[in-house]
Amino acid sequence: MGVALMSVQSRTATAQGCCSPSTTPISALQSGPAAPGTLDFGVFYEFYRLEGNRRGSSEVPDPQQRLSELHLANLSVGYAPWSRLGFRAIMPYARRSREQTLSTPTVQRRDELRGVGVGDVALLGLVQALPVRGLRPYGFSLGVGVKLPTGNVHQTRSGVQLPLDLQPGSGSTDLLLTSYGQYYRWPGWNLFAGHVWRLTGTGDDGYRFGNELQVFGALAREMGSAWGLSAEIRYRYASPDERDGALVPSTGGHRLFVVPGASLKLGTGGPALLASALVPLYERVTGTQMATDLGINVALQQRFNI
């Protein structure tokens, strides 16, 4: 995340963080296509908190005492009209905010900037590549899709346009490539892994967020008939942003998280409730950027036969 005072224009350099518009809402993409002839429906809530400064992999002082937060709600709808082909649409609504202290010999105040609105809609096609025939204790699917520039990138506060990292949208059309695999041979256990790769386009103002790769792997254990526990490792890489073909300082980097989680089945045939926390293990960023403090994901998922 980058520094932005109330008087700074939207073309000020903005650094990527876990709650920048360039970050893909991965929790809504951690699945393959819906079962044939079914409609799956999910509401995914993601919260990210960034606080403090990091230069490279080291913590450094932040004189402005910045605090940045993202609240993101994603509505995901998936449908599989055929045995191996399905489609998914993800519609986000975001609230992004940043607080910082302005300190001068004559002024001492705490300012907050906030952007709220519908984000960039994503549309995907998903192919069940494995198993080839019959039931097997594994599955593997591939997805390809597009993220559309449906979110607002021109929100203003007090007549001044918000920085790009606080806008609900990113302003670009991006390509999405995903994979998701499962192995569940052992009774009560489930292994799953996959990736989300986003190749970004350039917005109308010449700004291009960096390409993004997220890779995850997890082990889940059923602890009873209605609930279970999981442990996940998630890695995110983002390349530097560009403006008019030139690299933007303090953008891009590597982040590694451990993600403990739990799931609960709400009644017979009812929805599933999932919750997890993102705990940063390692961060190495380009230049100086805000450090990830915590992430929380909550999801409510239900499947309908149609």
pLDDT at 13: 40
Name the residue with higher pLDDT: 207 or 14.
Answer: 207
**Average of pLDDT values for 25-41?**
86
Q: Quick check: helix, strand or coil at residue 256?
A: strand
The answer to whether the CB of 265 falls within 8 A of the CB of 272 is yes
Classify domain 26-305 at the CATH topology level: Porin (2.40.160)
Residue at 262: amino acid letter: A
Q: Which residues of 5-29 are buried (b: 16+ CB within 10 A; e: fewer)?
A: eeebebeebbbbbbbbbbbbbbbbb
- Tell me the pLDDT tens digit for each residue of 224-274: 889 999 999 999 999 999 999 999 999 999 999 999 999 999 988 889 999
The answer to whether the CB of 16 falls within 8 A of the CB of 110 is no
pLDDT at 154: 94
pLDDT at 21: 62
Cα angle, residue 274 at apex, residues 271 and 280 outer, rounded to 5°: 165
pLDDT at 16: 54
Tell me what percent of the residues of the chain surpass a pLDDT of 70.
92
Model pTM score: 0.89
Token pair 């010449």 in the structure block, residue: 206
Q: Which range is least confidently modeled, 7-21, 43-57, 78-92? A: 7-21
- Tell me the pLDDT tens digit for each residue of 119-164: 999 999 999 999 987 778 999 999 999 999 999 999 999 889 999 8
Positive or negative: CA dihedral 155, 200, 121, 28: negative
- Tell me the pLDDT tens digit for each residue of 76-109: 999 999 889 999 999 999 999 999 998 777 878 8
pLDDT at 132: 83
pLDDT at 83: 86
Q: Which residues on neighbouring strands pair with residue 205, listed in sequence order?
A: none
